[in-house]
Amino acid sequence: MSMLDVGKWPVFALLPPEELRLIRQACVFGSAANEALYVTVNDEVFALGTNCSGCLGLGDLQSTIEPRRIDVLCGKKIESLSYGTGPHVVIATTDGEVFAWGHNGYSQLGNGTTNHGLTLPCKRVTEVACGSHHTIALTTDGEVFAWGYNNSGQVGSGSTANQPTPRRVSSCLQNKVVVNIACGQLCSMAVLDNGEIYGWGYNCNGQLGLGNNGNQQTPCRIAALQGVNIVRVACGYAHTLALTDEGMVYAWGANSYGQLGTGNKSNQALPTLINTDKERSDGGGGCMSHQPHVSCQDPERAGSDVGSVSGSGCSQPPPHPFSSTDDVFACFATPAVTWHLLSVDGDDYLTVAQSLKKEFDSPEISDLKFLVDGKCIHVHKALLKIRCEHFRTLLNETDEDTLEIHQFSYLVYRAFLEYLYTDTINLPPEDAIGLLDLATFYRETRLKRLCQETIKRGISEENAVTLLSAAVKYEARDLEEFCFKFCVNHLTAVTQTQAFADMDHDLLKNFISKASRYGAFKN
């Protein structure tokens, strides 16, 4: 995925671009997608958000909108990360260490504390998965360990007693090699190296794929998939998807949101093939990922299910603006949580638009700077000439490499120059009035239109008259009409504001005249 994709997740909206560029791994979680962990290019680990139950791993319960470093994890390369809805968070490093923190009401941290520090002795862990309040881990030997909440047998111990410390899941997994694990809300799944798939725990929605709705306290093989070679499994809240070595996808479990993709909303207690032979992976189709994967997003956690399936090749999807399934989660899931640890390729190709945006106000290769209110803004003459008629004329008449601007503020002028690089404006509504003035002065019609739309979004009873005055002054007819109608519709409140009392005499006269024609003063 590209750098810009990380910024699409709302929780990262306040991070400056230079910070986003450093992110190499990230995970967004929490009941409102308001908690996040990320790893930088220097293997430093940071957390930000509301810190519910200490889930940020900072050793306290303080919320933070500024990223804070998790010192104990810095320098440790994260191999796998998962979280439960408590929330609790569990990670495995490339060295096989396991750390856990957050909610621990059901021993889901495995060590009886509420902070990081869990380690499986003498075992190197390659993958972790969390249910709502239980955790499972996969070792390099292909063994599965489980701990935490166990009311439905999701720990796989043969009982329903909670498991306070990691315990090997044996039973029929004894002497077998597991290669992939996943957790639903109250169940667990495991894929073996021979393509078999096992499930245990809660099963009232058929999420174990066994053909019945009975809970299982030990792993049970999904007999209906005998002869099918499963390579990967993923769980939603109460449904499961599995990917075969041929690119086929099977689904089973809860289906009230249509999350199984079967064309109806009936639960399925047995695995159901959800793509036809025609849609199988053939190694030549375009895909969103080079590695086969399946993903599930939970309706109870995300408002509605968003699922993705991709492999080394797939049939051509319909046209869409998304570069990856993670983009879809970021833009449409509610809350916008990530279903896995996002990995960012630092060598991503940048489009022309992305490259230009990256170079705005960067002194490294700029050949012109504007001095506004004593501050510098670094730009490129060629781009300004291409994008703005005013600059084409101005810069053809001067060889100066520094130009002073006096008639506009730094905030407004910087927003104008940034618009020339990005085609967007980044200003709050109250400051967009100054940019509207500039757009009028430079005869930038599109910029003027964008300013009007920005100002409309910020209108209130307190500032409506001020915005109306600005619209009249800068001949922004569309905005003027919008502000006038707002004032008429909120007439009583607007006429009681100080701005109305200070209104220009001619503007007030015109306003009253026009408002009367609209019937604003009729009983």
Q: How far apart are CA 131 and CA 87, in angstroms?
A: 10
Q: Does position 208 have pLDDT exceeding 90, yes or no?
A: yes
Res 162: pLDDT: 94
- CATH fold for domain 77-279: Methylamine Dehydrogenase; Chain H (2.130.10)
Sequence ranges of the domains in the chain: 1-75+296-348, 77-279, 352-518
Q: Which pLDDT does position 314 carry in this prediction?
A: 39
Overall pTM surpassing 0.75 (yes/no): no
Q: Which pLDDT value is given to residue 295?
A: 56
DSSP 3-state assignment of 424?
coil
Task: Label residues 445-482 b or e (16+ Cβ within 10 Å = b).
Answer: eebbebbbebbbeebebebbbbbbbbbbebebeebbeb
Query: Is 29 a residue whose pLDDT tops 90?
Result: yes
pLDDT classification of 119: cutoffs 50, 70, 90: low
Predicted confidence band of residue 523 (pLDDT cuts 50, 70, 90):
low
Residue 113: predicted pLDDT: 56
pLDDT tens, residue by residue, 54-84: 999 998 999 999 999 998 999 899 999 999 9
pLDDT tier for residue 301 given thresholds of 50, 70 and 90? very low
Q: How far apart are CA 425 and CA 415, in angstroms?
A: 6
Average pLDDT of span 366-387: 94
Task: Show contacts of 440-444: CB within 8 Å, 24+ apart.
Answer: 440/474, 440/475, 440/476, 441/407, 442/388, 442/390, 442/416, 443/389, 443/390, 444/388
Confidence (pLDDT) at 319: 62
Distance between CA 454 and CA 499 in Å, rounded? 20
pLDDT number for residue 206? 98
> In CATH, what number does 352-518 get?
3.30.710.10
**How much of the chain exceeds pLDDT 90, in percent?**
59
Residue 361 pLDDT greater than 80, yes or no: yes
pLDDT value of residue 429: 77
Q: What is the pLDDT of residues 162-190, one digit of tens each?
A: 999 999 999 899 999 999 999 999 999 99
pLDDT in tens, 404-433: 999 999 999 999 999 999 998 878 777 888
**pLDDT classification of 296: cutoffs 50, 70, 90:** low
Per-residue pLDDT for 298 more than 70? no
Amino acid at 336: A
